[in-house]
Structure 1
Amino acid sequence: MACRDVGEEARSRHRRPEVPPAGAAHVRDRRVTGVLQVRYFAGARAAAGGVHEESIGATSLDDLATVLVERHGERLAVVLKAASFLVDGLACHDRRAALPAGATVDILPPFAGG
């Protein structure tokens, strides 16, 4: 007998059971909402009541804006309309694009000067 317990069948130890692949999740499905780290800068921080950073569940920038306005009020809504968003350090202009779970979103209000 080679390396088997008594009564153990001869089978591959590394075989995975047949599991069908998962289908693509719909972006609007709230059950697949990713948790994002949101960081506020300058006027956005002031409009959010001084919060520097928080975790939010959202699937897109539009979805994120809705959640943030519900949480912090209309003052932040005004800032978000003119703000720039960085997703993991890269500018994101499409507010309907799907956001990766675990991403860091920086909210940058327009700055004065030139």
Structure 2
Amino acid sequence: MELTVRYFAAARAAAGSDTVVIDVDADTTLADLESILSADNPDLRRVLARCSYLRDSVALCDRSVTLGTCAIVDVLPPFAGG
């Protein structure tokens, strides 16, 4: 499936872009996605370890859960003050 990953704040800075579109299988886990996204970027790998995620606007916390069929994953690093 085609998946749009949207980066925010520190994740955007580490990734060097706002979004990336990749092809993944529906059985890809969140941990797999982190590995794919950070394969050549150790800075992004460190940031992703602290991030929370939204899968089509629904929180996804368990890194062993598969993405299923979805269109957008938002990558949200910890935010100060809230």
TM-score over 0.5 (shorter chain)? yes
C-alpha change, 1:92 and 1:102, in structure 2 (3 Å) is closer
Task: Give the AA of the match of 1:41.
Answer: F
Counterpart of 2:9?
42
Which protein has the bigger strand share?
2
Q: CA RMSD in A?
A: 1.4
Number of residue-to-residue matches in the alignment: 79
Structure 1: tracts of 5 or more residues without a match: 1-33
Q: What amino acid does structure 1 have at the position aligned with 2:5?
A: V
Percent identity for Structure 1 against Structure 2 = 48
AA matched with 1:101: T
1:79-98 aligned at under 5 Å gives the runs 79-98=47-66
Structure 2: runs of 5+ lacking an equivalent: none
CA distance in 2 between partners of 1:61 and 1:36 (Å)? 12
Which residue of structure 2 aligns with residue 63 of structure 1?
32
Q: Distance in 2 between matches of 1:68 and 1:61?
A: 10
Please give the alpha-carbon distance, in whole angstroms, between the structure 2 residues aligned to 1:103 and 1:96.
19
| Runs of 4+, deviation exceeding 6 Å | none
TM-score by length of 2: 0.86
| Deviation by residue 1:18-71 (Cα, 9 ceiling, x = unmatched) | xxxxxxxxxxxxxxxx3311000011000001x111112331211110011114
Q: CA deviation at 1:100?
A: 2.4
TM-score by length of 1: 0.64
The structure with the largest alpha-carbon Rg is 1
